[in-house]
A and B are shown apart, each in its own frame.
Chain A
Amino acid sequence: MTLFHERWRVRVSLLAAGVLEAHEEAAVRAHLQACDACRADFERSRRALDVLARDPARTADAPVSVEFLKTRVLARLDEVVVARPFRWGFAGVGLAAAALVVAIVPPLVQRMHTPGTATAVIVEQPLVPEDVMARMERRLARDSAARYLDEAQDLLVTVSAHPADCEKEHGRVDVGEEARRSRELLERRALMVDLGGDEVSSAQPLLDDVEGLLREVAALPACVHADSLEAIHKQMERRNVLMKIDLMTRELRG
């Protein structure tokens, strides 16, 4: 699939969702006549959207009357109004309490860690069983990695499929926002993905591929020739990055 064709697939989805302008719609409908894969995508999208159109939430009624809702809203507004304003006296009490904690806690902690005392035994007992804690941490690590991959996927799809035309330079596309988001995502990666952890070890090769692509996007100037994106798109294609992200996020979320 070429970059050019990936753009068609985006437009086919947008046609199914009914959000294309008239002139774009005519072009996509003409393309559908010639492209079997796009026509199949269009039919599948239409069927999915038909199922979604039957969602009871689309016609659901609020379970309370508007009068009741108004009463609740006014009560909430009153709560906000009577909420106590900031008082310096309370701040003083808070500071005094904080000073007390600073004075008392360190010696207490020292005592707790003195070997051979009964207190030390009590403190060492975990509040949450170790296995539950381990499962929570595992879950959290996998969720974070999946979220990172989701965000990277959104960004890579935008770069490869549908960048907007650059307003400043004719004939180029605008990837300024995507470059900025790539840099932001790379900075956040360390927080979102525990790279040393076993929990996401199976995702490591994919995370490396994604990082490489994000670095390339991050290095792009705001306005580039569409051809410059072709190399990024080919890399994604060669390594099946989007499909792997789909599979990996599913696996990570269980």
Chain B
Amino acid sequence: MQRLARGDREALGPLMERHHRRLFRIALSYLRDVDEAMDAVQETFVKAYQAASRWDPVSEVAPWLSRIAVNHAIDCYRRRQRRRRTEEPMPDHPIDHDGRWRVGDPSPESEVSGREVGHRIAAALQTLPERQRAIFVLRHYDERSLPEIADALGMSLGTVKSSLHRAIARLRTRLGSAQA
């Protein structure tokens, strides 16, 4: 990070090597779209490079990058919603998500089943308000602690706790049929 702060672009290589998969999973979990998730990862590293001089050396890099990624994902999601409102004014049902992500090299059966689970989860996550979804993604997919999440999203710890509770309550209602 110190090399990055001095403007050394070569320092991006090891940083990307270490974090790009994790950031991709965070963005994909939030956005449920591979192309948008890759754009989010790319922009996360661009912003990290631009903001490296302001990075506080006592803080850890991973939560800092997670914060940039999830905030970018929220912006991206808002833009998508606005675009859909103007381009597709009245969809009668939630937009279908294709399960285009790759999971190792699955068999056809496990691929179908994985995609089906992915669709159900995508539909359930889509019902969460933006902030609840961001909190849930950072906890469930990135395993961030509650204080880290509060810091990343600029919220109080109490709000993070109650929002995580609401998110889980909603998801268990939505996924009730999926468990049967």
Contacts and interface: CB of A to CB of B under 8 A. Distances in A.
Q: Check if A and B associate.
A: yes
Interface of B: 9, 12-13, 16-17, 20-21, 24-25, 28-29, 32, 34, 38, 41-43, 45-46, 49-50, 81, 85-86, 89-90, 92, 99, 101-104, 114-115, 117-118, 120-121, 127, 129, 131-132, 139-141, 145-146, 156-159, 161-166, 168-172, 175-176, 178-179
Contacts of B164: 13-14, 17, 19
B127 to A, nearest CB: 8
Given A14-B161, A63-B34, 20 more contacts: A13-B168, A14-B164, A17-B140, A19-B139, A48-B176, A48-B179, A51-B120, A51-B179, A52-B121, A56-B101, A57-B25, A57-B29, A58-B25, A58-B29, A60-B25, A63-B102, A66-B20, A73-B16, A73-B45, A162-B158
Which residue, of A58, A72, A132, A136, has the highest number of chain B Cβ atoms within 10 A?
A58
Nearest to A147: B129
Contacts of B38: 62-64, 69
Given A57-B118, A64-B38, A164-B156, A151 B165 contact: no
Nearest to A78: B9
A10 interface: yes
Interface of A: 9-10, 13-14, 16-17, 19, 44-45, 47-52, 54-64, 66, 69-70, 72-74, 76-77, 80, 132, 135-136, 139-140, 143, 147, 150-151, 153-154, 157-158, 161-164, 174, 177-178, 246, 250, 254
14 contacts: A16-B168, A19-B139, A19-B145, A47-B175, A50-B179, A55-B141, A58-B25, A63-B34, A70-B13, A73-B49, A80-B46, A153-B166, A162-B158, A177-B159
Given A63-B102, A154-B129, A140 B168 contact: no
The 8 closest A-B pairs by CB, nearest first: A48-B172, A60-B101, A13-B165, A150-B129, A136-B89, A62-B24, A158-B162, A10-B165
